[in-house]
Amino acid sequence: MSRHPSNVVAPFSMLVPVVGAFASWVAFDEVLDPVELLAGALVVFGVLVASRANQPRVIGLTMSAMNSNADSARNRPATT
C-alpha cells in the first residue's frame, strides 16, 4: 500500500473479467457475443481514463526536462 495507493490500483481490478473472457476465447475457443466485446472495450477504456486521471500533470515541461533543470541547479555553485 505504501508503494501503490489503493485509489490507483483499484480500477485495474475491473480488468479481471475482461482478461478472463479473453483467456477463455484463447484457451477454450469460447465464442464472445458482440455485446460482450463492446462491454469489454468499455471497461478497458474506463480503466485507461481512470488511470490517466490519477497522474500528475505538468504543463509545458516533461518530467525529464524538470529533472535536468533540477540537476543543473544543484550543480551550479552557490552565489551569495
Domain boundaries, the chain: 6-75
Encode pLDDT of 25-72 as tens digits: 999 999 999 999 999 999 999 999 888 876 666 666 555 555 555 555
Q: What pLDDT, on a 0 to 100 scale, did the predictor assign at position 2?
A: 74
| pTM attached to this predicted model | 0.61
Helix ranges (H only) for the chain are: 6-9, 16-28, 34-53, 63-75
Task: Calculate mean pLDDT across residues 14-27.
Answer: 95
Residue 48 grid coordinates: 485507461
Instruction: Return the SS3 of 8.
Output: helix
